């Protein structure tokens, strides 16, 4: 059976000397693994057209098990992400999070819309690190946890100007007055906590303009990655490169 579907490549794995396996998130929100024969030796464009983040019309045959890719009509290469290692690492974090949030046979149109949204924003100049924060926020409930950013979880005080840290002991933001109850709480600006709350609650179709200072984005990103580590035990493959880039920034 020959199938035609639009989709975005979210994962690539080399297979043998010349083949590779790609996973596309199709337009319906389902993950589709595909074998790409002679991808690394192909002169027909399959090598370039089966890279991570490629968005296109995928034509493949499938009977039982994994399908085999025949061709790709590329709509958007997202080539800019292969030119900037910093942007690429956070875009990879987006793809990895969405990939791991979906079971093999699950269908989630929202997941496809979310990935399409963040790649489009990155293409138009929005920070890939900020977009990774959005993805991590929007996927939290898929991993079975949530986080409170809009009030002190100890006192219930919803004056966000008083919030100064995130407590893993109490599972949420805490205010200055109760900081002594958790000496290991992660100190954050109240602006960081406020914007995390806004991005968590705001639907992606209402995020028309996104511009946040790099220092705040760094704080948000650090906290979100730590939340996944503490609550889900999840370590991202792309995180190793991100950590190396941060160390280089600190040395420069």
- What does the pLDDT look like over 193-226, one tens digit per residue? 999 999 999 999 999 888 899 999 999 999 999 9
Tokens describing residue 25: 């998130």
Residues 6+ apart with CB under 8 A from 214: 127
Q: How far is CA 71 from CA 16, 22, 67, 120, in A?
A: 20, 13, 12, 23
Nearest alpha-carbon partner for 64 in 150, 145, 1: 1
Stronger pLDDT, 39 or 200, i.e. the higher one: 200
Q: How confident is the model at residue 46 (pLDDT cuts 50, 70, 90)?
A: confident
Q: How far is CA 177 from the centre of its chain?
A: 34
Tokens describing residue 17: 């000397």
Nearest alpha-carbon partner for 5 in 50, 63, 72: 72
């Amino acid at each position: 059976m020959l199938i035609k579907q639009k989709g975005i490549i979210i994962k690539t794995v080399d297979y043998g000397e010349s083949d590779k396996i790609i996973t596309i998130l199709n337009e319906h929100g389902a993950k589709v693994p595909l074998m790409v024969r002679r991808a690394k030796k192909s002169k027909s464009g399959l090598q370039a057209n089966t890279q991570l983040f490629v968005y296109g019309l995928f034509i493949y045959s499938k009977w039982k098990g994994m399908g085999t890719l025949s061709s790709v009509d590329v709509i958007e290469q997202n080539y800019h992400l292969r030119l900037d290692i910093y942007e690429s690492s956070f875009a990879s974090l987006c793809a990895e999070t969405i990939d791991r949030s979906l079971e093999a046979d699950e269908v989630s149109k929202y997941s496809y819309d979310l990935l399409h949204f963040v790649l489009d924003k990155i293409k138009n100049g929005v920070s890939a690190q900020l977009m990774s924060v959005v993805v991590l926020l929007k996927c939290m409930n898929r991993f079975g946890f949530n986080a409170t950013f809009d009030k002190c979880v100890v006192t219930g005080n919803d004056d966000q100007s008083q919030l100064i840290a995130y407590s893993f002991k109490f599972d949420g933001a805490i205010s200055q007055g109760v900081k002594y109850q958790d000496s290991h709480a992660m100190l954050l600006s109240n602006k960081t906590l406020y914007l995390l709350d806004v991005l968590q609650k705001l639907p992606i179709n209402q995020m028309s303009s996104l511009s946040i200072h790099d220092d705040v984005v760094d704080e948000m990103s650090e906290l979100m990655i730590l939340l996944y580590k503490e609550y889900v035990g999840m370590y991202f493959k792309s995180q190793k490169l991100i950590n190396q880039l941060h160390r280089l920034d600190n040395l420069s």
